[in-house]
Structure 1
Amino acid sequence: MSTAIPDPVATALVSSEQNGLVHGLSAAEFQILSLTCIEAKATAYCPYSLFRVGASLLINPNTATPSPTSTPAIITGANVENASYPVGTCAERVAMGTAVIQGHRIGSFKAIGVATDMDDFCSPCGMCRQYLREFCENEVPIFMFNKRGEYRVMTLGELLPMSFGPDKLPSREVLARGLEEEGKTKVA
């Protein structure tokens, strides 16, 4: 993905936000997030629906591998369809799967960008919301870009209220103890 000179529109948007940040992102982070998810649409494989989606994950600088440049670390993905429709994979899951195999886990992600060719804003589908929840905190902002590059932002927690994530599961020890106790009750 190419990196462009700072976009005056993105800079103006950032300037209008509190403390020069857009939902906790600097102008450079916001620009690279928006640019990369919009560019990722071009790599979509969607011969059946013609519905292109690009996604980008902004890696938290505290967890990123040090880079010789000051460019924020980004991982992108695009939707990949299949003639057997349910077998396709959404852009958000392609990007997150790539991030996971690179070793990123919960705490690694600062923001998510999703871009489509729609006039309106398109949020991640329900399956993607749950998939993202496995690896992202509820406070992670998700920027949804329409075909004009305008955005709407909501946190993962706003998109998936009362979510079920790894932090909701009892530990393996507690689960094992419960199974042991249940087995003893059935025997008695």
Structure 2
Amino acid sequence: MTDETTIARLIRAARDVQGRAYAPYSHFRVGAALLGEDGTVYTGCNVENASYGLTICAERNAIFHAVACGCRRFAALVITGDSKDLTAPCGACRQVMAEFAIPEIILARPDDSYETFTLQQLLPLTFDESSMA
């Protein structure tokens, strides 16, 4: 379980990158801060495209950024957004989180209060390697 100081640091990092989101179509900015097991923080924001299928969500952006930097083991992920309450990850992002077994997903409200979820809570019937056996 991630401590309060680290969660506050991740929320700040997610909010900072959320401000750099490219969302000219939805006007809904999302930020993500991913904590590697070694303590490194990787961030990502949503980047939209006129062809919506080419859009990348903040969560996947952060995960792919971490992988590109050589990190594949994670402790927690924080998600912030322009919602009036919690901004939940889409199904595609949940599946990518499952691929990397992210154990703790923290959804932060605009006032920085938050709720913590396990991957199992967000994606109870995960499609993974064992699904192909």
Q: TM-score, normalised by structure 1?
A: 0.67
Specify the alignment match of 2:59 in structure 1. 92
Q: Does 1:147 align with 2:114?
A: no
> What is the rounded CA distance, in whole Å, between the counterparts of 1:39 and 1:163 in structure 2?
31
Secondary structure (helix, strand or coil) at the match of 1:30 reads helix
Give unpaired runs (5+ residues) of structure 2: none
> Which moved further from structure 2: 26-35 or 90-99?
26-35
Specify whether residues 27 and 148 from structure 1 end up closer, same or farther in structure 2 by C-alpha distance, changes over 3 A only: closer
Specify the alignment match of 1:11 in structure 2. none
Q: Does 1:31 align with 2:8?
A: yes
Q: 1:83 aligns with which of 50, 70, 77?
A: 50
Q: How many positions carry a matched residue from both structures? A: 133
Q: Which has the higher strand share?
A: 2
Q: TM-score, normalised by structure 2?
A: 0.92
Secondary structure (helix, strand or coil) at the match of 1:32 reads helix
Counterpart amino acid of residue 48 in structure 2: E
Say which one has the larger Rg.
1
TM-aligned CA deviation for residue 73 of structure 1? 1.5
CA offsets 1:36-64 (integer angstroms, 9 cap, x no match): 1111101100011110000010111xxx2
Give unpaired runs (5+ residues) of structure 1: 1-23, 65-71, 171-188
TM-aligned CA deviation for residue 142 of structure 1? 0.7
Specify whether residues 148 and 134 from structure 1 end up closer, same or farther in structure 2 by C-alpha distance, changes over 3 A only: same
Q: Which has the higher helix share?
A: 1
Higher relative contact order (CA 8 A, sep 6+): 2
